[in-house]
Structure 1
Amino acid sequence: MHGSHLLVATGRQPNTDKLGLELAGVKTDEKGYIEVNTQLQTNVKHIYALGDVHGGPQFTHLSYDDFRVVRDNLLHEGPRRSAKQRPLPYCVFTDPALGRIGLSETQAKDQGIPYRVSITPVKKISRAQQTGDNVGFWKMLVGPDDRIIGAAIVGPEAGEIMTIIQVAMAGGLRHQELTDMVIAHPVWAEGLNVAFKSLGEEVKK
């Protein structure tokens, strides 16, 4: 194996030790992350922790949503909003790019959720045939009720395609609705018309 650079990723360490949390009585775990409940409330009931300081997946978009969780729970009436009941979309901006949302096959198996899987090579999508940018695949997981439970997109505009799938999941759309949807030609999203073509009849567990 040859390369020009070596990247060593050893993880992150929170700098909460400089916040004076002990003066307010706010608890942290053994790694220094602030302990919170599902509403992002610390053990001191009028203090909340938002963003990377409370651990878990460290994504900017989750930090934005932390604000929405706290805002709604403090200012809005109705059911309490939870930071645990939200999707976890993420992208890796490599070449080709990766976009992920929902469950992977491993997670579905571990949780005992039945599913079917469809894998479509990017080269089968019209836009790829026009641009020549044909490296990658689209992988879809569908539950017994025909609704999408997860997706992994590797290839051009992976994050944008993943976001469309996330919206479809949030709306409870069945995969047939994407297959039969009229989508402008020749955008990358048109690949959703063929992304479920290899969906098998066998339900995996």
Structure 2
Amino acid sequence: MTDLHLERTSIKTGSHGEILVNDILETDAKDVYALGDVTGGPQFTYISLDDWRIMANHLYGDKTRSRLNRPVFANTIFLNPAISSVGKTEAQLNEAGIDYKVLKMPAASVPKTQVIGNPRGNYKALIDPQTHQILGTTIYAEESFETINIISLAMQNHLSAETLRDQIYTHPTMTEALNDLFDQI
């Protein structure tokens, strides 16, 4: 960032060197936007892509997108197996005083783990006990980086856990774990 010589501009930076932007990614300099990792937000390629969508919507679209209405998004740590999560954690829900129910199951109960020879891991979902909306999910299992996207989509569209529970998934796949995970409601 020092190579940008932002001190020669009106662009403001934060305490960690990030470029300060508003909710549509504008800096303090007229007609200058900042996107991606330089803004100090989540440092994922897909967030940078969404930053582009926000800016493009503001410049060429209907001006409805912002960081405030960004879709639900997951994250993954690519271990073996990977660990992926979306939404709130138990600690966050406890701190906010939000009631929730915990659903858990071992990855070994998913037939695909036996097929690929790696049954390690667990699935954990947090749901609202009244509405059955998914509040958060963590998956430590093979192909978690794919399965978590389905849960993100369900959360974004306010689908109940029953919707994922009752879906017919191809077999053998890791996504069919959602039948059993959400069958614990």
- TM-score, normalised to structure 2's length? 0.91
1:82 and 2:66 equivalent? yes
1:148 and 2:134 equivalent? yes
Residues 77 and 85 (structure 1), Cα distance of their counterparts in 2 relative to 1, 3 Å cut: closer
Contact 1:120 1:198 survives alignment (8 Å): no
1:49-198 to 2 correspondences below 5 Å: 49-79=34-64, 81-86=65-70, 87-143=72-128, 144-198=130-184
Letter paired with 1:64: L
Number of residue-to-residue matches in the alignment: 183
Residues 182 and 82 (structure 1), Cα distance of their counterparts in 2 relative to 1, 3 Å cut: same
- TM-score, normalised to structure 1's length? 0.83
Structure label with greater radius of gyration:
1
- Structure 2 portions without partners, runs of 5+: none
Measure, in 1, the Cα distance between the counterparts of 2:171 and 2:95: 39
- Listed one character per residue, the Cα deviations across residues 143-197 of structure 1 (whole Å, up to 9, x for unaligned) are 2311112110101001001011111112221111111111112111111110123
Instruction: State the SS of the aligned residue for 2:125.
Output: strand
| Corresponding residue number in structure 2 for 1:3 | none
Q: 1 or 2, which has the higher helix percentage?
A: 2
Percent identical among aligned pairs is 36
Letter paired with 1:149: L
Measure, in 1, the Cα distance between the counterparts of 2:175 and 2:16: 42
Measure, in 1, the Cα distance between the counterparts of 2:98 and 2:59: 35
- Listed one character per residue, the Cα deviations across residues 66-93 of structure 1 (whole Å, up to 9, x for unaligned) are 10011111211253x2213332411111
| Corresponding residue number in structure 2 for 1:5 | none
